[in-house]
């Protein structure tokens, strides 16, 4: 049981990769990329978890009275979320332009660059 | 390369990577273990500087340089979207038509708008005390404005949302974060050093030294950035039309 | 002095912020001037820091100096290699901004500052990545430079190819970055640290390498090698470089891709080189095999391109392979050679892209076949293109040739032959283009069939086709070539670079870095082979046209993002398999 959360992260990452490779729609592909990124959230938060601990916020608990989970991974996950959201926005902007210039968002039909 | 071959490649690659990841997971410390050296140090450092929300202390004090990079990524993405979603030579702008909105939707949106906006500002302001902060509050505040689009129409949104002003706000907030960081260098300590202001009383709004200021700068940056980002995408959906190719 | 290290990131960002804040009121010229000035100021700061970087100093951002050897902050490392890469990035950004001064395509209406601002953010991202000593911070700056690069690559949104190339670039690089973050999380779980040197010590304290070390190494290296465009992670690079605006290509090919190699060198040296990390023999196997594959694929594909920017992009892939071999053999001498090679390559490659940009803006095409004999009157550009080609081949006394000869001697034997052949092939392709386009030599070459990307039908990057070539556009490649040449002939420059690299990497080992008869001979041989290949290709086009066995290789470059992701997974598995023996053995 004690490795299950880590295995979930690995599973989510690979599922996202499969989706990316098999995608027939670029919007779906960008979504799959976010799935891969979700794996990193899961892994980071799982790494920082501590049994019976609460949130690392001391506005309503006395310092030292209870164990808290690792605040560092939470900060890293927050950074990661922002990075993911902005990358998604930028990639979707590119997909908007692809659909205008190519008239399709199916990666199988984009054949401008090859060889 | 055909689809079959690609899926074969994926199968081989995934199998290898999966084996590697599973083997690694089995070697990881047990889930929920008590050994978190960096986390423990971060909590102590946060309490030393009177910041009740240790995550805010990590983000805006201990690892504020990461947050600088993170903010810049957002700033760059906004800049990138402004460039990528510009009106090109073969496109023109069409005035969006006023739209009818169902009265219940309109009522609900207009009631919730101020509440959501206030919530966003509250979350930003209390970033150093309670869960949340500039990033989270900024997104809430920015999306709150867009309730006007759902409740009224695009023109109403445009009236309260001069995009140019928000772009300037985005850049100004990013500059404010940098200037706060440079103040440390000028004062002879270090970039982004939280040593200039008193740490204040624990668990009050003014505690944590420069943490509330950096947090506020981020709040403003994120709110403005999200507004501009959404504006660019809405422009594409509502206003910009391709010239007919006839 | 080292307190100023964070300013390498802060100053260009402040410039970008100001450009966006007041950009609406700013005329084009003012925005471009501010961009150049800020970029130049940062470059000057890096160089001052670089001159004061011996002995290397570290700076804890926010004043979080360690207590009992542990800190909660982020460390920046001001050593020779890091600051050297930052200096290279800054100088190339300045060159690219100067190159695009006033003539680059009209920015979006009322956003005169957006293009220079993006370039400044790019510069900040690259400088930050080069100097950081914290693994998560490295991820942040890795993403920062990637995000800006996606936006800049897709800058010409009216071009169908540009947006497709930019999306491919974005998806593959982001996936690589997330793989890297997975690896960082695994390392954090094991060691509880994020500072690279402390992670290394934590791994050593834990004992010999196990599956976790292997997996984290593979994941982190996957991210860095995607950026470095090593085979089989390289597919995005030709697609992105062929479509990005020319000034952006100069940065992508000249320094961003090399930062991936630098990152791999830095991460291995600081995190995984101890007894708890990955054994040296495994790293050597991994990088030499991958490097040799990369050099071979890059060189072959480069030869068969007709789209000139794509040809140069494959030449970058081939050289990346040579760099990877160099850092893979793990000798101080090879490290020094690669450092010089990267500097020389950056100048030459950026100059070649700059020349190609002139062709695009003047003639509206970057296709070798379409341009056949059309650029006869561009004498200055022709000379620079040929000189660039010779520099790429490793003609002494270019800095790249010096670096290459040092690395060849360190690698020795069959690997030295690979260095000669790969550089000769890519340089031969460049010289072939020069002979056809600028001199109109030989018969018009035959088409290779439909499975290729042509360079015709491209829009110029300027407001219209240029009637004359502005001085800034010719001065920049000339200066870049002069720089690459000067770095090779300046007495003591090689020694200085070697000392700085060894001080940071191999504990101050002193190795001689200078021209040797053997090195000069190899340089002359590869130049001769390059000229010979070019001459043969021009006079007998059919003899060296793509044979049938090259077609499957070309088909792999399908432009399909799903294929590239599949290759990325295969590549990660390959990395794991190559490093497996040593981990099993302990």
> Looking at CA atoms only, how far is residue B207 from chain C in angstroms?
18
C193–B172 C-beta distance less than 8 A? no
**In this complex, which of A43, A90, A115 lies closest to C170 when CB atoms are compared?**
A90
Quick one: tokens of C224? Answer: 């860095």
Strand partners, B53: A57
**Closest by alpha carbon to C84, among C579, C525, C487?**
C487
Q: Smallest Cβ distance to A113: which of C150, C171, C559?
A: C559
Q: What are the φ and ψ backbone dihedral angles of B90, each rounded to 5 degrees?
A: -95, 20
Question: Distance between CA atoms of C473 and C370, rounded to whole angstroms?
Answer: 22
Enter the tokens of residue C282.
């495994």
Pair of tokens at residue C583: 């981990």
Q: Please provide the average confidence, as pLDDT, over all residues in chain C.
A: 91
Name the nearest CA neighbour of C443 among C452, C431, C435: C435
Nearest alpha carbon to residue C81 among C392, C318, C327, C245: C327
ipTM: 0.97
Report pLDDT for C448. Answer: 65
Cis amide bond preceding C55, omega within 30: yes
Residue B85 has its nearest CB partner, among A2, A21, A93, at A93
Indicate yes or no: CB of A79 within 8 angstroms of CB of C140: yes
**Quick check: helix, strand or coil at residue C75?**
strand
Binning pLDDT at 50, 70 and 90, where does residue B246 land?
A: very low
**Tokens at C293, concatenated:** 């594959």
> Percentage helix, strand, coil, to 5, in chain C?
70, 5, 25
> Does position A29 have pLDDT exceeding 70, yes or no?
yes
Length of chain A: 115
Displacement of CA C41 from its chain's centroid (Å): 23
Q: Among B166-175, C6-15, C550-559, name the one with the lowest average pLDDT.
A: C550-559
Cα A91 to chain centroid distance, Å, stands at 14
A90 contacts on C by Cβ (under 8 Å): 147, 150-151, 170
* Alpha-carbon gap, residue C214 to C324, rounded angstroms: 19
Reported as a single tens digit per residue, the pLDDT across C50-77 is 999 888 889 999 999 999 889 999 999 9
- Measure the CA–CA gap between C149 and B224, rounded to whole angstroms: 23
pLDDT tens, residue by residue, C427-485? 999 999 999 999 998 888 777 666 777 777 777 887 778 878 888 899 999 999 999 99
Mean pLDDT of C292-321: 95
**Which of the 8 DSSP states describes residue C255?**
I
Instruction: Give the mean pLDDT of C396-406.
Output: 92
Residue range A56-81: average pLDDT? Answer: 92
Burial of residue C106 (number of CB atoms within 10 Å: 0-12, 13-18, 19+)? exposed
Structure tokens belonging to residue B71: 């903010």
- The DSSP result for C530-550, as a single string, is HHHHHHHHHH-TTTTSPPGGG
C-alpha A37/C-alpha B162 separation (Å) is 33
Return d(Cα C558, Cα A85) in angstroms, integer: 28
Distance between CA atoms of C521 and C515, rounded to whole angstroms?
10
Q: Nearest by CB to A110, from C164, C238, C448: name it.
A: C164
How distant is the alpha carbon of residue A31 from its chain centre?
10
Angle between helices C211-228 and C160-191 (to 10 degrees): 160
Chain B residues touching A96 at Cβ < 8 A: 84-85, 233, 236
Lowest mean pLDDT among A10-14, A27-31, C445-449: C445-449
Specify burial of residue B185 (Cβ count, 10 A radius: 0-12, 13-18, 19+). middle
Q: Residue C586's pLDDT band (boundaries 50, 70, 90)?
A: low
Q: What are phi and psi of C58, to 5 degrees?
A: -115, 155
User: SS3 for B241?
Assistant: strand
CB–CB of C337/C274 below 8 Å?
A: no
**Residue B243: per-residue pLDDT:** 65
Q: Residue C89: in which H helix or E strand, if any? A: helix C80-99
d(CA C238, CA C453): 10
**What length is written for chain B?**
246
- Which residue among C154, C185, C565 sits closest to A97, beta carbon to beta carbon? C154
Kind and range of the H or E run holding B240: strand B240-242
B242 φ/ψ angles, rounded to the nearest 5 degrees: -75, 145
Residues of B in contact with A78 (CB under 8 A): 55, 59, 135
Q: How many helices (H) and strands (E) does chain A have?
A: 3, 0
- Smallest CA–CA distance, residue A112 to chain C, in Å, is 6
Task: Name the CA radius of gyration of chain C, rounded.
Answer: 22
Cis previous bond, B43, omega within 30: no
Which pLDDT tens digit goes with each residue over C531-549?
Answer: 999 999 998 888 877 777 7
| Whether the predicted model's global pTM rises above the 0.90 cut | yes
pLDDT confidence of C507, banded at 50, 70, 90?
Answer: low
Would an 8 Å CB–CB cutoff place B29 in contact with chain C? yes
Q: Which residues of C touch B83 (CB under 8 A)?
A: 107-108, 111, 114-115, 118, 151, 155, 157
User: What are C189-205's pLDDT values in tens digits?
Assistant: 999 999 999 999 999 99
User: Does C106 have pLDDT greater than 70?
Assistant: no
Average pLDDT of chain B is 90
Residues C295, C319: Cα–Cα separation, whole Å: 6
pLDDT at residue C314 is higher than 80: yes
Subunit contact A90:B77, Cβ cutoff 8 A: yes
Task: Indicate the DSSP class of residue C208.
Answer: S
Q: Among all residues of chain C, which has the CA nearest to that of B76?
A: C148
The verdict on a CB contact (< 8 Å) between C452 and A39 is: no
pLDDT by residue (tens digit) across C554-579? 888 888 999 999 999 999 999 999 99
Where are the extended beta strands (E) located within C10-106? 57-60, 75-78
Residue of chain B nearest A19, judged by CA positions: B10
CB contact under 8 A, C118 and B20: no
Handedness of CA C558, C150, B228, B135 (dihedral sign): positive
The residues pairing with C57 across neighbouring beta strands, listed in sequence order, are C78
Among C397, C396, C388, C391, CA closest to C354: C388
Helix extents (H) in chain B:
3-27, 37-48, 54-57, 64-84, 103-125, 134-145, 147-151, 154-160, 163-186, 211-234
Angle (CA) C38 B176 C98, round 5°: 15
User: Mean pLDDT in chain A?
Assistant: 92
Tell me which residue in A3, A55, A59 faces B31 most closely, judged by beta carbons: A3
Contact B151, B108 (CB under 8 A): yes
What whole-number distance in Å separates Cα of residue C119 and Cα of residue C13?
Answer: 10
Tokens in use for A91? Answer: 């990639």
Q: Which domains does chain A have, with CATH numbers?
A: 4-109 (1.10.287.3510)
Inter-chain residue contact A94 with C161, CB threshold 8 Å: no
**Pairing state between β B91-93 and C75-78:** unpaired
pLDDT > 70: percent of chain C: 98
Parallel, antiparallel or unpaired: strands C75-78 and C57-60: antiparallel
Question: What pLDDT, in 10s, does the model give residues B109-142?
Answer: 989 999 999 999 999 999 999 998 899 999 999 9
Is it the case that residue B218 has pLDDT exceeding 50? yes
Q: Chains with ≥3 Cβ pairs under 8 A against A? A: B, C
Residue partners of C543: CB distance under 8 A and separation at least 6: C536, C537
Task: Return the residue in C181, C183, C215, C454 with the most chain A beta carbons within 10 A, the one to mutate for interface testing.
Answer: C181
pLDDT of C542 reads: 80
Q: What is the mean pLDDT of residues C213-218?
A: 95
Contacts of C515 (CB under 8 A, 6+ apart): C396, C397, C402, C405
| Chain C touching partners, 3 or more CB pairs below 8 A | A, B
CA dist C368 and C379 (Å) reads 17
Q: Tell me B242's DSSP state.
A: E
The residue with greater pLDDT, C492 or C312, is C312
pLDDT band for C253, please (50, 70, 90 cuts): very high
Residue ranges per domain, chain C?
Answer: 1-57+79-133, 134-140+154-278+557-586, 279-546
The end-to-end CA distance of chain C, in Å, is 44
| pLDDT, position A1 | 59
């Amino acid at each position: 049981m004690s490795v299950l959360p880590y295995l979930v992260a690995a599973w989510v990452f690979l599922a996202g990769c499969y989706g990316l490779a098999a995608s027939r729609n670029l919007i779906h592909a960008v979504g799959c990329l976010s799935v891969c990124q979700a794996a990193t959230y899961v892994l980071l938060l799982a790494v920082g978890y501590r049994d019976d601990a609460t949130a690392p916020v001391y506005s309503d608990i006395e310092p030292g009275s209870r164990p808290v989970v690792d605040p560092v991974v939470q900060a890293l996950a927050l950074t990661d979320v922002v990075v993911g959201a902005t990358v998604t926005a930028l990639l979707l902007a590119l997909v908007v332009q692809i659909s205008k210039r190519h008239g399709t968002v199916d990666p199988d039909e984009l054949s401008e660059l090859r060889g | 390369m055909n689809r079959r071959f690609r899926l074969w490649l994926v199968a081989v690659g995934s199998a290898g990577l999966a084996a590697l990841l599973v083997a690694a997971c089995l070697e990881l410390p047990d889930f929920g273990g008590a050994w978190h050296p960096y986390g423990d140090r971060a909590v102590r450092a946060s309490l030393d500087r009177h910041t009740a929300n240790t995550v805010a202390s990590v983000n805006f004090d201990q690892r504020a340089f990461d947050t600088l990079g993170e903010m810049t990524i957002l700033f760059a993405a906004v800049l990138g979207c402004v460039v990528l979603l510009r009106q090109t030579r073969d496109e023109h702008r069409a005035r969006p038509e006023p739209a009818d909105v169902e009265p219940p939707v309109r009522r609900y949106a207009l009631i919730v708008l101020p509440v959501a906006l206030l919530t966003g500002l509250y979350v930003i302001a209390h970033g150093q005390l309670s869960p949340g902060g500039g990033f989270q509050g900024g997104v809430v505040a920015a999306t709150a404005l867009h309730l006007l689009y759902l409740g009224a129409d695009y023109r109403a949104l445009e009236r309260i949302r001069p995009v140019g002003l928000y772009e300037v706000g985005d850049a100004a907030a990013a500059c404010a974060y940098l200037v706060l960081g440079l103040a440390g260098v000028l004062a002879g300590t270090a970039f982004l050093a939280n040593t200039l202001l008193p740490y204040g009383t624990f668990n009050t709004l003014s505690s944590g030294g420069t943490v509330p200021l950096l947090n506020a700068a981020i709040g403003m940056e994120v709110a403005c950035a999200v507004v501009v980002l959404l504006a660019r995408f809405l422009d594409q959906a509502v206003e910009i039309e391709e010239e007919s190719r006839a | 002095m080292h307190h100023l290290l964070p300013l390498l990131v802060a100053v260009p960002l402040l410039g970008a912020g100001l450009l966006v804040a007041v950009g609406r009121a700013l005329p084009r010229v003012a925005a471009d001037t501010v961009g150049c000035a800020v970029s130049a100021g940062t470059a000057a700061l890096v160089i001052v820091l670089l001159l004061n970087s011996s002995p290397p100093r570290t700076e804890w951002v926010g004043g979080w100096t360690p207590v009992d050897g542990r800190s909660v902050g982020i460390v920046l490392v001001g050593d020779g290699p890091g600051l050297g890469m930052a200096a290279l990035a800054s100088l190339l950004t300045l060159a690219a901004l100067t190159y695009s001064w006033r003539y680059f395509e009209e920015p979006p209406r009322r956003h005169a500052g957006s293009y220079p601002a993006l370039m400044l953010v790019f510069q900040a991202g690259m400088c930050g990545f080069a100097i950081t000593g914290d693994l998560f911070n490295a991820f942040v700056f890795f993403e920062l430079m990637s995000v800006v690069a996606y936006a800049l690559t897709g800058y010409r949104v009216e071009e169908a190819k540009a947006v497709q190339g930019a999306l491919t670039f974005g998806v593959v690089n982001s996936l690589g970055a997330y793989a890297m973050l997975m690896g960082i999380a695994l390392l954090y779980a094991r060691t509880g640290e994020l500072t690279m040197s402390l992670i290394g010590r934590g791994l050593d304290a834990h004992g010999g390498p196990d599956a976790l070390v292997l997996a984290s190494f593979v994941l982190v290296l996957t991210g860095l090698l995607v950026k470095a465009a090593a085979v089989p992670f390289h597919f995005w690079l030709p697609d992105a470089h062929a479509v990005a605006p020319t000034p952006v290509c100069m940065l992508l090919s000249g320094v961003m891709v090399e930062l991936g190699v630098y990152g791999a060198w830095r991460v291995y040296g600081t995190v995984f080189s101890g007894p708890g990390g990955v054994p040296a023999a495994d790293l050597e196997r991994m990088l030499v095999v991958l490097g040799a594959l990369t050099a071979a694929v890059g060189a072959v594909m480069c030869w068969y391109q007709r789209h000139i920017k794509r040809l140069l992009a494959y030449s970058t892939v081939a050289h990346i392979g040579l760099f990877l071999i160099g850092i893979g053999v793990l000798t101080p001498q090879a490290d020094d050679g690669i450092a010089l090679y990267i500097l020389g390559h950056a100048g030459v490659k950026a100059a070649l892209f700059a020349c190609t940009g002139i062709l695009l803006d003047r003639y509206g095409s970057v296709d070798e076949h379409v341009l056949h004999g059309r650029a006869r009157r561009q004498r200055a550009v022709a000379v620079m293109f040929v000189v660039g080609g010779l520099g790429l081949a490793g003609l002494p006394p270019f800095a790249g040739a010096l670096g290459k000869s040092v690395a060849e001697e360190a690698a020795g034997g069959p690997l030295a032959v690979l260095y000669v052949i790969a550089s000769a092939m890519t340089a031969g392709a460049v010289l072939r283009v020069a002979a056809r386009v600028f001199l109109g030599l030989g018969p018009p070459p035959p088409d290779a069939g439909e499975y290729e990307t042509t360079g015709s039908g491209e829009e110029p990057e300027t407001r219209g086709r240029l009637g004359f070539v502005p001085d800034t556009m010719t001065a920049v490649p000339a200066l870049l070539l002069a720089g690459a040449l000067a770095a090779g002939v300046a007495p003591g420059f090689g020694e200085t670079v070697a000392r700085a690299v060894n001080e940071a990497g191999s504990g101050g080992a002193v190795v001689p870095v200078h021209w040797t008869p053997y090195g000069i001979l190899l340089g002359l041989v590869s130049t001769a082979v390059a000229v010979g290949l070019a001459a043969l290709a021009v006079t007998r086009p059919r003899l060296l046209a793509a044979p049938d066995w090259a077609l499957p290789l070309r088909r792999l470059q399908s432009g399909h993002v799903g294929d590239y992701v599949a290759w990325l997974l295969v590549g990660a598995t390959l990395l794991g398999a190559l490093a497996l023996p040593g981990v099993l053995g302990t």
